[in-house]
């Protein structure tokens, strides 16, 4: 059994025997690595740092996008197709080149490729513009929705005001009719002979006394009616519902008017919830170092060369017919069958 024990010197002799094969493999690997590295195009990276905020004056129902949502939307093909519509790259290229990640409270968009720096920065800018366009569209939709709600609320309040005005007009018509009736009755009584026959110091008849009392009552009612008409003119619909309720409604209408004006100002120049903090900045070239590639290729070539030497040695000096003297042949360097 001792003659079959592994001897490290045997392996060293095999490696020395195939040293030129190993050297050839290493030279080929290093040469290929150098050629590929020198012929490969330079790779650049464009980065944009985005922040998400809530613009002032937007409706309370609006929810700005999160940085996680921005990172997810960057991978959406429809968005990338819009970004690539006017550029020099395709949506498929962007799908494989664009990455996004959350960085603290920001979102970082990165595009890496072999494009010229100017084109790469332009592609990053178009991706960001597509994101901003989408975010602005969502904000505008929220503003339009709130504007329609404000208009509906105003219409409901104006209907209530209309009901009050109708009730006020009905009350005014009744009071005016009542005033006309009282004036007509007073005019009739004033030409009554019983009244005309009365004079200061004279003894009044019972009939004349009763007519005078009726006149006094009619004058009192007429005065109250005219006072009511004056209150209607002065208070308006508050005469029907009360001053506090009318003022509250008027304040609500004024608030809605102010909100509508502010919303229309926002629609004229929509704010942007997605803001560029930095970029696009281009760095590179990012290609692997020639020295690094050559070193790695040399190590791999050495490893492959050693394996190849042992394989070739085994093919040449493999024992035949169960002969166990292969190691002796390997030591002598004689091929099998010689």
Tell me what the mean pLDDT of segment 3-15 comes to.
70
Question: Looking at per-residue confidence, does 240 or 62 come out higher?
Answer: 62
Question: Looking at per-residue confidence, does 187 or 335 come out higher?
Answer: 187
Tell me what the mean pLDDT of segment 48-57 comes to.
86
Q: What is the pLDDT of residue 319?
A: 58
Phi, psi of 237 (to 5 degrees): -70, -15
- Distance between CA 89 and CA 87 in Å, rounded? 6
- Distance between CA 304 and CA 33 in Å, rounded? 15
Q: What is the pLDDT of residue 152?
A: 92
CB atoms within 10 A of CB 5: 6
Tell me what the mean pLDDT of segment 13-22 comes to.
81
Q: What is the pLDDT of residue 192?
A: 63
- pTM, 2 dp: 0.60
252-283 per-position pLDDT tens digit? 889 989 988 988 988 888 888 888 888 788 87
169-185 per-position pLDDT tens digit? 898 899 889 888 888 88
Nearest CA to 82 among 139, 133, 116?
A: 133
Nearest CA to 273 among 148, 141, 183?
A: 141
Q: What is the pLDDT of residue 174?
A: 92
Q: What is the pLDDT of residue 1?
A: 43
Least confident of 24-38, 123-137, 263-277, 303-317: 24-38
Least confident of 28-32, 207-211, 300-304: 207-211
- Distance between CA 97 and CA 50 in Å, rounded? 18
Assess whether pLDDT exceeds 70 at residue 318.
no
């Amino acid at each position: 059994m001792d003659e079959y024990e592994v001897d490290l010197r045997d392996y060293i002799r095999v490696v020395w025997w195939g040293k030129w094969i190993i050297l050839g493999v290493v030279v080929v690997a290093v040469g290929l690595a150098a050629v590929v590295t020198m012929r490969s195009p330079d790779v650049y990276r464009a980065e944009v740092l985005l922040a998400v905020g809530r613009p002032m004056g937007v409706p309370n129902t609006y929810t700005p996008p999160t940085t996680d949502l921005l990172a997810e939307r960057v991978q959406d093909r429809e968005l990338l197709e819009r970004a690539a519509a006017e550029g020099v790259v395709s949506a498929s290229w962007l799908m494989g080149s664009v990455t996004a990640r959350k960085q603290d409270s920001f979102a970082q968009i990165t595009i890496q490729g072999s494009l010229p720096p100017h084109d790469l920065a332009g592609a990053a800018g178009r991706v960001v513009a597509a994101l901003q366009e989408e975010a602005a569209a969502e904000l505008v939709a929220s503003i339009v929705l709130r504007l329609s709600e404000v208009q509906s609320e105003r219409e409901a309040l104006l209907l209530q005001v209309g009901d009050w005005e109708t009730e006020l007009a009905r009350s005014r018509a009744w009071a005016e009719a009542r005033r006309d009736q009282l004036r007509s009755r007073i005019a009739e009584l004033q030409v009554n002979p019983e009244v005309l026959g009365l004079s200061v110091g004279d003894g009044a008849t019972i009939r004349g006394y009763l007519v005078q009392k009726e006149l006094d009552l009619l004058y009192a009612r007429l005065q109250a009616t005219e006072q009511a008409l004056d209150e209607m003119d002065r208070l308006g619909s508050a005469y029907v519902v009360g001053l506090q309720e009318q003022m509250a409604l008027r304040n609500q209408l004024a608030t809605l008017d102010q909100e509508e004006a502010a919303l229309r100002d926002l629609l004229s120049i929509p704010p942007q919830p997605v803001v560029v903090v930095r970029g696009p900045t281009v760095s590179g070239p990012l290609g692997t170092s020639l020295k690094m590639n050559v070193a790695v290729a040399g190590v791999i070539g050495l490893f492959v060369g050693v394996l190849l030497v042992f394989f070739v040695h085994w093919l040449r000096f493999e024992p035949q017919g169960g002969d166990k003297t292969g190691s002796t042949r390997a030591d002598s360097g004689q091929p099998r069958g010689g």
